[in-house]
Amino acid sequence: MAGLYLSFLFQLFFCLSCPATNPSMLNVHLVPHTHDDVGWLKTVDQYYYGDRNNIQHAGVQYILDSVIDQLQKDPARRFIYVETAFFYRWWKQQNQSTQRIVTQLVNEGRLEFINGGWCMSDEATTHYSAVIDQMTLGLRFLNDTFGECGRPRVAWHIDPFGHAREHASIFAQMGYDGFFFGRLDYQDKARRMKTKEMEMLWRASESLTPPLADLFTGVLPNGYNPPEGFCWDQSCDDAPIRDDPDLEDYNVDEIVQKFLNAGFYKANHIIMTMGSDFQYENANLWYKNMDKLIKYVNALQAKGSKVNVLYSTPSCYLQELNLANLTWPLKTDDFFPYADDAHDFWTGYFTSRPALKLYERLSNSRLQTCNQLEVLGGPKSKSGPFGEGDSDTMSKAMGVAQHHDAVSGTEKQHVAYDYARRLATGWAHCEVLVRNSLAILSGSEAPRVFCENLNISVCPLTESSHKFSMNVYNPLGRTVSWPVRLPVNGSVYSVTDANGRAVDSQVGNVFISLKCTCYIYDMKSSCLLPLLSVSINNKSVLLYVFKFLKVTFDETTGLLSSLTNLETNQTIQLTQNFYWYNASAGNNKESPQTSGAYIFRPNSSDPFVINKTAETQIVTVSSTVQEVTQWFSPWVSQVVRLYEGHRELELEWTVGPVPVADGLGKEVITRLDTDIKSSDYFYTDSNGREVLERRKDYRPTWELKQTEPVAGNYYPINSRAYIKDDKHQLTVVTDRSQGASSLYNGSLEIMLHRRLLYDDYRGVGEPLSEPGDFSDGLVARGRLLLTFTPPDTAADVHRPLAQGMVLQPLLSFQDGTPSANTKLEFSGLQTDLPPAVHLLTLSQWDEDTVLIRLEHQYQAKESKTHSQPVTVNLQKLFSTLDVLGASEMSLGANQWKEDMDRLQWNAEKTSKPLPLSAKDPSPWEVTLNPMEIRTFLLRVRQL
Amino acid sequence: MAGLYLSFLFQLFFCLSCPATNPSMLNVHLVPHTHDDVGWLKTVDQYYYGDRNNIQHAGVQYILDSVIDQLQKDPARRFIYVETAFFYRWWKQQNQSTQRIVTQLVNEGRLEFINGGWCMSDEATTHYSAVIDQMTLGLRFLNDTFGECGRPRVAWHIDPFGHAREHASIFAQMGYDGFFFGRLDYQDKARRMKTKEMEMLWRASESLTPPLADLFTGVLPNGYNPPEGFCWDQSCDDAPIRDDPDLEDYNVDEIVQKFLNAGFYKANHIIMTMGSDFQYENANLWYKNMDKLIKYVNALQAKGSKVNVLYSTPSCYLQELNLANLTWPLKTDDFFPYADDAHDFWTGYFTSRPALKLYERLSNSRLQTCNQLEVLGGPKSKSGPFGEGDSDTMSKAMGVAQHHDAVSGTEKQHVAYDYARRLATGWAHCEVLVRNSLAILSGSEAPRVFCENLNISVCPLTESSHKFSMNVYNPLGRTVSWPVRLPVNGSVYSVTDANGRAVDSQVGNVFISLKCTCYIYDMKSSCLLPLLSVSINNKSVLLYVFKFLKVTFDETTGLLSSLTNLETNQTIQLTQNFYWYNASAGNNKESPQTSGAYIFRPNSSDPFVINKTAETQIVTVSSTVQEVTQWFSPWVSQVVRLYEGHRELELEWTVGPVPVADGLGKEVITRLDTDIKSSDYFYTDSNGREVLERRKDYRPTWELKQTEPVAGNYYPINSRAYIKDDKHQLTVVTDRSQGASSLYNGSLEIMLHRRLLYDDYRGVGEPLSEPGDFSDGLVARGRLLLTFTPPDTAADVHRPLAQGMVLQPLLSFQDGTPSANTKLEFSGLQTDLPPAVHLLTLSQWDEDTVLIRLEHQYQAKESKTHSQPVTVNLQKLFSTLDVLGASEMSLGANQWKEDMDRLQWNAEKTSKPLPLSAKDPSPWEVTLNPMEIRTFLLRVRQL
């Protein structure tokens, strides 16, 4: 043990070999770095190989080649690398000799991994489930390849367009010592520069006990660029240092003076990002000139200069700040929305590319299913009767899709297609795995199809077969009821469940009831097949379904008019309609800024109504579902549904092709106007987890000068938004990330779709105008689930509702009747998880180990019933796995929990009471406190 | 000696380590190279450091850094480097370790120097004297640094815009085994591709005995670029090889197929230039992809492919061609003019930037003077009473000025200024050396000034002093008479020579006679100070001066009307006038091509006359000079002069500022129209040496389809052009390089100046519109010397006249009377050289050695008197130097003559009789055959 201990110490020392600084001088930490978008103007492959350089000159393979060469030339030189999606691919292509060199550079701290996720995720439009997965994917590669010295100490989100509190919370729980970013509101930045609050402690959760979600956070001085005049990349035109004294244009003195004059922070240490997008493809240019800069600036110390320049890294800089033992300001809200000028609010991308955003979310659900079935099916799921399958491809596709120019919708069109293609390819690999796994679990190797196009009512098998079975796999840890619609050609079907019991179903003019065997393999679910029928007239409709909700429509306008909670007997007036903001084409008066993929800038604060009245054409009433279809225009319609046994009202909207022939770009919203006295307040989630309070024309920590009354009040929602007063809360659960706001008392608006005519000058170089299948504009369809409750029970409804939206059942179909020995029902869990517990992750880790994440899905205080510690016994979770051992890990699964030893920081005192946490009753019984996620590596054996 | 011999063998083997080829396959020699202009869009310093990358991305320091790194990664990789001006500077900045690595790479043939001059000289507008000097400068650095392995074997002029026969002759005499270039007339290229005459033996002299001036010459297949689709530089957008089989866009098969389909020569070997302008700044991109190309193409050999790709160099390729022992077509003319399309004749640059072209020529004269005085003054000339002086700075400035975008006039304006500045700086260094040397030689350390502005009649000393002495240093090897004009303020001067004898001089209204001591230090000269006076009326002027020439003017037009040789009593009608071609702005009908810095394209074949009549305003008649001034317009004038004792008529033209406010670009010519029956023939020199016959609308070796009747008949002249018939020859000797043609029987036209409004799409990106001192357009002034003789004695006049124009006396001035012990006359030579012998080079080599080049300045057969072998005794040349030993060298002075062992080539037989050469009578007595240059390193001791 002594030997082990020493070796551990040795390694620690080895990895953290930070350069010496000079305590009596201003130490300028030059941080050589490259920012490599995992797709943007080019696809991730094109960026890696340096293809399509006519679009943008960028080739990551060469960046890494070049940096590794240059690092070897001088032990003082340092470099940080961030995006593991690229590094991983490069590493695979290196020979052993290069791999050995790189390992040594890592061990010596000369090459340091920073952030280390598969990508640098977007913060506004990502769901925490996928973010944790993509971080885990990247960190695991680094850990497997380099061990402790490869573990990133610092989170580094230099480019994302605003910063989510949940991201900070995740980073803290992953063990990062600090976090740096580049972009924040220009007013906020100006203030922080003035008050020296560029660095702070971010308390990123109101539920978790500090310092669990505390993260030291620094705003970088120059975004992520070098100071003006000091960009020595091949992509820059700044003057190189010309130090040949014979030269007519010798410029050393001038450059050194300029450097000394650059406005520094007043601290003893300052970080300087020396690099930018896809820089260091020819690292020699950078290092050669920085070598000279260091040499000539430090040479002045002999003449009394108090400036000390050195190669460094963010973690070395952070270490110095930590040693300074200062007290830092405390930050408890987030950094949304982001504006870089008065009319330049980056709030359009909250909604940009709504179909890609949905597909990404759906793909997450599929990946979780794939991961779970890989665990449940065992090794044969990857190589079984249907061939070779894997979840890795989908993991990587999802990893890439989290990038801040992927799901954000801010990439070029051809790149958006590439992301979608990758997800589809990933799913194709998963499909094989799922087929294998279901064959193993059911004992039936009969062919199985997945109907990908059920959203447009296409499924060749169900449309042609007289007898088929449907399998529903539910990846949630508990039973849900889920409506299914299938296209069929017959007119009379009988539907039975796994036990042969008849299932309630109906045949409508499009969707008809079916007769088949319905059996279920899932974590725990029920089989519900409500199908629709009977159209009636379109005026004065009253939907009064089952026992939970009453909805009324205005008989003149055809719009929703009220909502009644039948359990509490509360009613609100509720009007819902669709509008479009006219996207600004820029103007000479205030700003040339246009609305684009990133920026939302309406021409006027008043949106145009699509139609004051809706043509309410079809109504279906049955014992399973009640349904009204509203037509607002040829390109906007909606189906309003209530399901038996459900508390939510479903609004299925269809928007598009958005017409732009009139020369006007359009940003389409739906707005809910109620008599709830919400005043200026509304609430939005952060990455699908904790909820933040928002207030119109207001920022919690700084004096806002509002210059964009609409765009400046938009916030990202990933899973939900709500408004409330003392008695009522109207919550909207969404199926994807969107932008939302509340601009009027009692009002909540959500942006659904955007089609624009101009680029917005942030580099993408294209107007956001998705062509769709027929090149006339993309049609987007989606669902908003409305719940109406008293505030104190709202979470009890919207928490499980939102998780059910994220992890959807997977349907698959087999022709004919299942053979006799087919197992018709299966559950991987011994029993439903407790209502507060969400199964966030279940995936195969190594041959005998499984990664599991259990999550408390309620915030502290939001639910009387559920905002309590809850305990789960790890040994009693699975029905088919014997759990032999469990080791708790950091959230990123790249460190044992017991080894986590983050830097400690002093923050200003807060008046808010700090949440407390309960302890585990025993080693196997783990307690989850509100909003806590616990990550375990389980050693398992298939039963 | 045996040891030395072995070591020599070993080294030879070492340097020539060519890669193995496969005799049964088509061997594709990939030649990685960069083409680094020694100034063009940026200055040479900016190119070296990578400054002003906004103009053009290019940084040579990084190219060499990167290539050296990449060469070390794989011994198969090769690179060639060409421009020593850049390599020299880079080498100086490397540490010993890098220098050792580079030396090893050179010794192993992995880095090979090709061409190796200070620059890649222009071929149309350079004078052979400066070309030989710049080659010597570059080759010497390589020889001193790397020895035999650093000696370039191949001449490489991939970019110059047409190719001069004299350049080929120079390369042959410098010991090159072969010559490759990229640009030749598109019709010629098409024919050669068809007839497989892309490679040939160039017999580059009609005077020198073969194979002395024979040079194997190859036209590169793709100019100097890679085949389409295979450019992998950072500056290119071609697809990289994506060889990850998991990749969606794996493209190896496609790329390999494309490579195999690229149209090759049918030979067993083909050379492929893999590189272009300033490429390889990030050499990894190139090598990484070429490595893959070689790997995947050669892998197909296992499947029966007969293509073998390898890294190679031009000399390795050449070696393979030589081993093939084929017979090659013979080329005896040159490659002018160059056209890359029907209306795209690169004949404008023959004249572009006339003032820079003159300044470069004048600077050559100054450099030769500086070199000679460094030898004659001994070591103290570099560090003497006037401080530290040197000739190196001027040598390098001249080396740079020979570049094909320097003296050619095809650089950006700011770069043209930089070349001029470098020449001025070079001269400033030389001035100190010259002052020191003259102080040593004269024994007078009195201050000495050089009047730089005599051309515009400014010299503060002569204008203010009542008594001053003028020193004339004549760098020619023989006595000349040379007119001098000085600005003075007095009205009566007496002028005496070194012996106190009165010198004939005159005072005019501007130029007046002067009284001073005139003494001369020179190689051999006389002091002549003719000054002008007396204006008379301006009609019907008859100039009938002294005994040689009679000139008449037309009394109506004021133009020249006839010329009579009074020695032979021959008369021709001669009209001379000035015209301008309207520069094409491009047109839709034939071609969008404009006239520009490179291209000459007149809008019409008929030039506009500036004025049909000249106002003949001033006539000066004296016993030393007769002079008529002609005014054609406010921006075109001319002074016509005859000097006592001279056979030539001097036409001093002044053109500019060329007006372009009318929106028309103008290309100004002067045309001499005579009754000489020249038919379609005329004659132009090649780089100031041998003369080639030209014929209108005709090329000697191929069927021309003439598409530009004017521009397609222009040829470069560097020192002279003539027309002749059986009895008469009119020769024009010029003071700089110009474009000239003969478009009519008896006519000869010379382009003097150009001012244009459009860029001509060859990269320079600026219209050629020199602003001049007052931003209203540059004024150019120059001299044409006309001689009129029978053809068989013409050379006797124009040869010495042209050399006198090239090497002009240097004037310097001292105030007051020389002190008593001042030596007033000095000659470095014991006696005048024989009339056929020209002292081409006399410069200090090492401490005790001097480089001398003696040249026979007559062609075979052109002079009855002088076209004979002539013998010089090396020991009896100098008056102040004892010659202790002499070793003959190659023309480039980087190899002992006896070691020269060029590759032998078989050429098609020629019917022309081959010139024979006479031998040396004794070791000290060296015989020069017509047009021969002999280069010696002399061991000397100052007497």
Q: Amino acid identity, residue A812?
A: S
Nearest to B252 by CA among B294, B312, B306, B309: B294
Shortest distance, CA B256 to any CA of chain A (angstroms): 17
Q: Amino acid identity, residue A724?
A: K
CB-defined contacts A:B, below 8 A: 79
Q: How far apart are CA A496 and CA A516, in angstroms?
A: 6
State mean pLDDT over B764-769.
96
**Are the Cβ atoms of A242 and B281 closer than 8 angstroms?**
no
**Are the Cβ atoms of A45 and B236 closer than 8 angstroms?**
no
pLDDT band per the 50, 70, 90 thresholds, residue A3: very low
Q: Which residues of B touch A249 (CB under 8 A)?
A: 45-46, 51
Shortest distance, CA A245 to any CA of chain B (angstroms): 11
Q: Which residues of B touch A428 (CB under 8 A)?
A: none
Residue A421 touches chain B, beta carbons under 8 Å? yes
**Are the Cβ atoms of A66 and B239 closer than 8 angstroms?**
no
**pTM for the full predicted model:** 0.90
Residue B93 touches chain A, beta carbons under 8 Å? yes
Q: How far apart are CA B142 and CA B131, in angstroms?
A: 17
Residue A685 touches chain B, beta carbons under 8 Å? no
**Are the Cβ atoms of B239 and A51 closer than 8 angstroms?**
yes
Those of residues 115-174 in A touching chain B at CB distance below 8 A are none
> What pLDDT is stored for residue B491 in this prediction?
62
State mean pLDDT over A706-732.
98
Tell me the C-alpha to C-alpha distance, in Å, between residue B570 and each of A789, B649, B727: 121, 15, 9
> What pLDDT is stored for residue B261 in this prediction?
74
Hey, of A41, A43, A45, A90, which one would you mutate to test binding to chain B, going by the most B CBs within 10 A of its CB?
Answer: A45
B788 has a pLDDT exceeding 70: yes
Model confidence over A55-65: pLDDT tens digits?
999 999 999 99
**Are the Cβ atoms of B288 and A65 closer than 8 angstroms?**
yes
Nearest to B405 by CA among B384, B423, B394, B419: B419
State mean pLDDT over B238-265.
80
Model confidence over A328-363: pLDDT tens digits?
999 999 999 999 999 999 999 999 999 999 999 999
Q: Amino acid identity, residue A363?
A: S
Helix boundaries (H) for B174-282: 186-195, 252-261
Model confidence over B124-163: pLDDT tens digits?
999 999 999 999 999 999 999 999 999 999 999 999 999 9
Lowest mean pLDDT among A7-21, A452-466, B227-241, B646-660: A7-21
Model confidence over A320-332: pLDDT tens digits?
999 988 999 999 9
> What pLDDT is stored for residue A526 in this prediction?
39
Say which of B45, B237, B282 has its CB closest to residue A66: B282
> What pLDDT is stored for residue B466 in this prediction?
77
Say which of B62, B236, B285 has its CB closest to residue A284: B62
> What pLDDT is stored for residue A469 in this prediction?
83
Q: In the numeric block, which tokens belong to residue B335?
A: 């490659």
Q: How far apart are CA B769 and CA B776, in angstroms?
A: 9
Average pLDDT, chain A: 90
Question: Which pairing describes strands B516-522 and B495-496: parallel, antiparallel, or unpaired?
Answer: parallel
Q: Which residues of A touch B288 (CB under 8 A)?
A: 61-62, 65
> What pLDDT is stored for residue A9 in this prediction?
41
CA-only gyration radius of chain B, Å? 28
> What pLDDT is stored for residue A544 in this prediction?
53
Say which of B46, B244, B282 has its CB closest to residue A234: B282
**Are the Cβ atoms of B62 and A285 closer than 8 angstroms?**
yes
> What pLDDT is stored for residue B262 in this prediction?
63
pLDDT band per the 50, 70, 90 thresholds, residue A267: low
pLDDT band per the 50, 70, 90 thresholds, residue A524: very low
Beta bridge mates, B878: B829
Q: Which residues of A touch B414 (CB under 8 A)?
A: none
Beta bridge mates, A925: A873
Sign of CA dihedral A816, A817, A819, A821: positive
Hey, of B42, B43, B282, which one would you mutate to test binding to chain A, going by the most A CBs within 10 A of its CB?
Answer: B282
How many percent of chain A have pLDDT more than 90?
A: 74
Hey, of B34, B60, B69, which one would you mutate to test binding to chain A, going by the most A CBs within 10 A of its CB?
Answer: B69
Residue B50 touches chain A, beta carbons under 8 Å? yes
Shortest distance, CA A285 to any CA of chain B (angstroms): 7
Hey, of B44, B284, B419, which one would you mutate to test binding to chain A, going by the most A CBs within 10 A of its CB?
Answer: B284
CA-only gyration radius of chain A, Å? 28
Q: In the numeric block, which tokens belong to residue B843?
A: 């410069």
How many percent of chain A have pLDDT more than 70?
A: 91
Shortest distance, CA A255 to any CA of chain B (angstroms): 13
Q: Which residues of B touch A229 (CB under 8 A)?
A: none
Say which of B66, B234, B288 has its CB closest to residue A284: B66
B193 has a pLDDT exceeding 50: yes
Does residue A516 contact residue A468 with C-beta atoms inside 8 Å? yes
Those of residues 248-277 in A touching chain B at CB distance below 8 A are 248-249
Say which of A66, A247, A425 has its CB closest to residue B284: A66
Here the ipTM equals 0.86
DSSP string, B554-566: -TTT-SEEEEEET
Sign of CA dihedral B887, B891, B894, B897: negative
State mean pLDDT over B825-848.
93
Shortest distance, CA A142 to any CA of chain B (angstroms): 21
pLDDT band per the 50, 70, 90 thresholds, residue A491: low
SS3 state at A179: strand
Tell me the C-alpha to C-alpha distance, in Å, between residue B183 and each of A500, B156, B180, B741: 86, 12, 10, 22
Does residue B63 contact residue B283 with C-beta atoms inside 8 Å? yes
Is pLDDT larger for residue A811 or for residue B523? A811
Q: In the numeric block, which tokens belong to residue B846?
A: 């090492």
Nearest to B121 by CA among B151, B82, B91: B82
**Are the Cβ atoms of B61 and A288 closer than 8 angstroms?**
yes
Residue A900 touches chain B, beta carbons under 8 Å? no
A237: closest chain B residue by CA: B53
List the catalytic residues of A.
159
pLDDT band per the 50, 70, 90 thresholds, residue A763: very high
Is pLDDT larger for residue B908 or for residue A704? A704
CA atoms within 13 A on the CB side of B858: 24
> What pLDDT is stored for residue A509 in this prediction?
31
Long-range contact pairs involving A761-764 (C-beta distance under 8 Å, separation at least 24): A761/A593, A761/A594, A761/A596, A762/A410, A762/A596, A762/A597, A762/A598, A762/A599, A763/A40, A763/A41, A764/A40, A764/A41, A764/A405, A764/A410, A764/A411, A764/A412, A764/A596, A764/A597, A764/A598
SS3 state at B393: helix
Is pLDDT larger for residue B600 or for residue A263? B600
Shortest distance, CA A107 to any CA of chain B (angstroms): 23
Model confidence over B367-409: pLDDT tens digits?
999 999 999 999 999 999 999 999 999 999 999 999 999 999 9
Residue A414 touches chain B, beta carbons under 8 Å? no
Hey, of A67, A69, A255, A423, which one would you mutate to test binding to chain B, going by the most B CBs within 10 A of its CB?
Answer: A69
Does residue B459 contact residue B453 with C-beta atoms inside 8 Å? yes
Nearest to A676 by CA among A553, A575, A573: A573
> What pLDDT is stored for residue A517 in this prediction?
41
Is pLDDT larger for residue A265 or for residue A584? A584
Q: In the numeric block, which tokens belong to residue B914?
A: 């081959």
Is pLDDT larger for residue A262 or for residue A416? A416
Q: How far apart are CA A458 and CA A475, in angstroms?
A: 24
List the catalytic residues of B.
159
Is pLDDT larger for residue A915 or for residue B592? B592
Model confidence over B323-355: pLDDT tens digits?
988 999 999 999 999 999 999 999 999 999 999
DSSP string, A288-341: HHHHHHHHHHHHGGGGT--EEEEE--HHHHHHHHHHHT-EE-EE-S-B-S-BSS
Say which of B54, B234, B284 has its CB closest to residue A237: B54
A523 has a pLDDT exceeding 80: no
> What pLDDT is stored for residue B541 in this prediction?
46
Say which of A69, A237, A249 has its CB closest to residue B45: A249
Q: How far apart are CA A19 and CA A17, in angstroms?
A: 7
Shortest distance, CA A52 to any CA of chain B (angstroms): 6
> What pLDDT is stored for residue A843 in this prediction?
97
Orientation of helix B354-377 relative to helix B392-401, angle to 10°: 150
How many percent of chain B have pLDDT more than 70?
A: 91
**Distance, CA of B464 to chain centre:** 39
Q: Which residues of B touch A282 (CB under 8 A)?
A: 62, 66, 234, 281-282
Whether omega for the bond prior to residue A913 falls within 30 degrees of 0, making it cis, is no
> What pLDDT is stored for residue A335 in this prediction?
98
**Are the Cβ atoms of A242 and B45 closer than 8 angstroms?**
yes
Does residue B219 contact residue B192 with C-beta atoms inside 8 Å? yes
Hey, of A43, A44, A49, which one would you mutate to test binding to chain B, going by the most B CBs within 10 A of its CB?
Answer: A49
> What pLDDT is stored for residue A163 in this prediction?
98
Orientation of helix A84-92 relative to helix A128-146, angle to 10°: 40
**Kind plus residue range of the DSSP H or E element containing A521:** strand A516-522
Shortest distance, CA A667 to any CA of chain B (angstroms): 35
> What pLDDT is stored for residue A485 in this prediction?
76
Model confidence over B35-88: pLDDT tens digits?
999 999 999 999 999 999 999 999 999 999 999 999 999 999 999 999 999 999
A124 has a pLDDT exceeding 70: yes
Beta bridge mates, B463: none
How many percent of chain B have pLDDT more than 90?
A: 75
Lowest mean pLDDT among A218-227, A920-929, B13-22, B593-602: B13-22
Say which of B51, B65, B234 has its CB closest to residue A239: B51
Does residue A802 contact residue A495 with C-beta atoms inside 8 Å? no
User: Which of A643-647, B240-244, B253-257, B673-677: highest mean pLDDT?
Assistant: B673-677
**Are the Cβ atoms of B89 and A249 closer than 8 angstroms?**
no
> What pLDDT is stored for residue B190 in this prediction?
94
Model confidence over A862-921: pLDDT tens digits?
999 999 999 999 999 999 899 999 999 999 999 999 999 999 999 988 878 888 888 999
Whether omega for the bond prior to residue B226 falls within 30 degrees of 0, making it cis, is no
B496 has a pLDDT exceeding 80: no
Q: Which residues of A touch B44 (CB under 8 A)?
A: none
pLDDT band per the 50, 70, 90 thresholds, residue B14: low
> What pLDDT is stored for residue A915 in this prediction?
82
Q: Degrees (nearest 5) of the Cα angle B403, B408, B410?
A: 100
